[in-house]
Copies of this chain bind each other. A is one copy, B any other.
């Protein structure tokens, strides 16, 4: 008799499988206020490692961290017309503070362009102060009617970058650099994610931006998820907040700006892009625990061996956890590490000791084989790099297999409904076609050029649209 699955199978009900994984792998719980989320230690450990790696990449392009207040006067948002229109329906409003009703209500930041510009306008005086490159790691709040853990939550954690430049070209190049050099490289190299880089259509653009660059990923059910965005803000906020500088020629000029963000949603994407019916599969370069060494039984020789292997692997630069909780049944622990997606398990029992081997179980390709214990420190770093590459390859192959080239709106909608993506010439779709698709809950995820590059304009000839259902 087959044992009952721990998780709802993906093919049966993907959203329920997702909920099951989040719950059973102890990534997060629903918060008490609708749409909020408690990130549990295992989930937060993934986010922490994403933060560390991204933070280094953000600093490497010359950006400095700072911190702006959570509370923004309501009047600030109103200064940029498109911005307030986009965010007003999602705001949380504080009306009382310190036991009194406030004279002016304050909003809990949904994003910080307005308050950042209030300060940029003070800090920027001359061309010498530019470019001004700032990032913050913070929580933001956007009231969410149909919340889903990590993917859409009322409060989420993110980094938001805000920059000011002396010219349009410089700002534009910087937004593109973040898009490609920071976000895309991080997602591909560390998260092993397959991402399409493109530009958003006018309909999907950030409220207040001239252009939004996006990274889109295909999840395990063929739906799309937006993984990060980088915006060219032009002079829209500079105009609203009088953020100007004295140019080399002695003229007072408005700055050109960018903003860009990536969020805890990436944890949800990690689950949905790499997970399978047995749970998570964490890319080795991200994994807080790359290898777990399990004692099958609690006898002294086994315990000594798992600790010894743990030390050898640590010395070889592997992030190891030794599981010697032998008062919990081995099978339960093995299933739990599988659920949690730890890339490699090394299992040691009395019989392995006799043979001088350990059982190496690989989570990503699956399969197990006995390996002589002394070979592990040389073997496992290679295995981890192989499996990192495999995850990315599998994600790429899935997108390739599930993407259809089409020429009509009807075919595009059909491909999306069938759980895949469609590629269609933007000239064959256009804003009207996009609006018609929206009524069928299908959206244009992004535009790319014929050869897959990021286009300079929405209506550049040859632009191709990726069309899909999305989270």
User: Which residues on A are within 8 Å of B, measured CB to CB?
Assistant: 29, 31-33, 36-41, 44-45, 47-48, 64-73, 76, 88-99, 105-106, 108, 115, 118-119, 122, 128, 134, 138-139, 141, 143-145, 154-155, 157, 327
List chain B residues, Cβ under 8 A from A157. Answer: 67
CB pair B97–A38 under 8 Å, yes or no, is no
**Shortest CB distance A72–B (Å):** 7
Most central of A29, A47, A145 by chain B CB within 10 Å: A29
Expressed in whole angstroms, the Cα–Cα distance for A354 and B411 within the complex equals 77
30 contacts between A and B (CB under 8 A): A29-B119, A29-B122, A31-B71, A32-B72, A32-B76, A33-B69, A33-B71, A38-B67, A38-B68, A41-B65, A41-B134, A44-B65, A45-B64, A45-B65, A69-B155, A70-B141, A70-B155, A90-B98, A91-B98, A92-B97, A92-B98, A93-B94, A94-B94, A94-B108, A96-B105, A97-B143, A98-B143, A98-B144, A99-B143, A139-B139
List chain B residues, Cβ under 8 A from A92. Answer: 71, 94, 96-98
Expressed in whole angstroms, the Cα–Cα distance for A134 and B43 within the complex equals 13
Expressed in whole angstroms, the Cα–Cα distance for A141 and B69 within the complex equals 10
Expressed in whole angstroms, the Cα–Cα distance for A385 and B99 within the complex equals 49
**Shortest CB distance A153–B (Å):** 9
Given contact pairs A45-B65, A70-B155, A94-B94, enumerate 17 new A-B contacts (beta carbons under 8 Å).
Answer: A29-B119, A31-B68, A31-B69, A32-B73, A36-B70, A38-B67, A41-B65, A44-B66, A69-B155, A70-B70, A70-B108, A70-B139, A70-B141, A89-B98, A90-B98, A92-B97, A93-B97
A99 closest partner in B (C-beta)? B89
A114 closest partner in B (C-beta)? B32
List chain B residues, Cβ under 8 A from A154. Answer: 71, 97
A39 closest partner in B (C-beta)? B67
The 6 closest A-B pairs by CB, nearest first: A98-B143, A36-B69, A41-B64, A31-B69, A39-B67, A93-B96
Expressed in whole angstroms, the Cα–Cα distance for A72 and B32 within the complex equals 7
**Shortest CB distance A264–B (Å):** 9
Query: A31-B71, A64-B45, A70-B141 known; A99 and B88 CB under 8 Å?
Result: yes
Expressed in whole angstroms, the Cα–Cα distance for A32 and B122 within the complex equals 13
A157 closest partner in B (C-beta)? B67
List chain B residues, Cβ under 8 A from A73. Answer: 32-33
Expressed in whole angstroms, the Cα–Cα distance for A100 and B253 within the complex equals 41
Expressed in whole angstroms, the Cα–Cα distance for A11 and B6 within the complex equals 69
CB pair B99–A69 under 8 Å, yes or no, is no
CB pair A72–B134 under 8 Å, yes or no, is no
**Shortest CB distance A86–B (Å):** 13
List chain B residues, Cβ under 8 A from A105. Answer: 96
CB pair A33–B72 under 8 Å, yes or no, is yes
**Shortest CB distance A24–B (Å):** 14
List chain B residues, Cβ under 8 A from A144. Answer: 98
Expressed in whole angstroms, the Cα–Cα distance for A64 and B45 within the complex equals 8
Expressed in whole angstroms, the Cα–Cα distance for A66 and B31 within the complex equals 13
Partner of A93 from B66, B90, B91, B95 at Cβ < 8 Å:
B95
CB pair A41–B66 under 8 Å, yes or no, is yes
Query: A96-B93, A96-B95 known; A36 and B108 CB under 8 Å?
Result: no
**Shortest CB distance A319–B (Å):** 13
A264 closest partner in B (C-beta)? B67
List chain B residues, Cβ under 8 A from A44. Answer: 64-67
Most central of A69, A90, A105 by chain B CB within 10 Å: A69
CB pair A98–B145 under 8 Å, yes or no, is yes
Expressed in whole angstroms, the Cα–Cα distance for A91 and B89 within the complex equals 24
Expressed in whole angstroms, the Cα–Cα distance for A154 and B69 within the complex equals 10
**Shortest CB distance A133–B (Å):** 9
A95 closest partner in B (C-beta)? B95
Expressed in whole angstroms, the Cα–Cα distance for A115 and B155 within the complex equals 15
List chain B residues, Cβ under 8 A from A39. Answer: 66-67
Expressed in whole angstroms, the Cα–Cα distance for A264 and B199 within the complex equals 39
